[in-house]
Amino acid sequence: TGRVLLITLNNVASDWEVDDERLDPFKNIISQRIDSIVGSEIEQPVLVSVRPNYIRNGESLSQVLSDIVHKEAITYDLCRPIISKKIIGKDQILPTIQVEIDGAMIYDYYTQEEVWDTSSVMVFDDFVDNSLRERLLDVVNGRDEEYSWNDKTHGPDPKRWIRGGLMDTLNDNEDVPTCWGLSEEATHELCFEEHSAIAE
């Protein structure tokens, strides 16, 4: 079931329910404390559940914890699948090419040491068809029926892309040209609005 912390508050009023809002301060204080030590004292986040006057009534602890996880998943819509199409055959989801493009020493908060880490590009053939690929590109570029900017001729649309929106240099050398990146508005729209192409 993962990491779950089940806390029982005894000797509280009998009218307190499992979902009682009066339990929120207890849960929030404990959750904030746990979040502050993730990566240093503990490696994984912990799901906190606070229950008033809790008695198991013959339930196994494993079942109780499973129910807590399931309820959390339902409450925050964590059970909705990301991919709606069923992929059959393991060979269809294996990358055709995997290339490491750069590497650097980074600080690992779990081991408290510097480790060598690399960025890589993976290529999947026939993972999406041309129609979906084009619609995904439309989403990224913010193209609709009234869109007239030709990025093949004129380069990145300045209403969508900005110079310096992506910084991938190892220092602040101004002589090194900066990369194009999505504007803040475009990034917000891409991440927080619904797009049928992404859902597919």
DSSP codes, 14-41: TT--TT-GGGHHHHHHHHHHHHHHBTTT
pLDDT score recorded for residue 98? 81
**Is the pLDDT score of 87 beyond 80?**
no
| Euclidean distance between CA atoms 145 and 159, whole angstroms | 16
Q: What does the alpha-carbon distance between residue 173 and residue 197 come to, in Å, rounded to a whole number? A: 38
The pLDDT > 70 percentage for the chain reads: 80
Predicted pLDDT at 1: 40
Q: 5 or 13: which carries more pLDDT confidence? A: 5
CA separation for the pair 94, 97 (Å, rounded): 9
Pairing mode of beta strands 4-9, 47-52:
parallel
Per-residue DSSP letter, 69: H
Give the number of other CB atoms < 10 A from CB of residue 49. 21
Q: What token pair was written down for 28? A: 């929030």
Mean pLDDT of the chain: 77
Once rounded to an integer, what is the mean pLDDT over residues 144-172? 75
Mean pLDDT to the nearest integer, 24-41: 80
In terms of Cα–Cα distance, which of 122, 38, 147 is closest to 5? 38
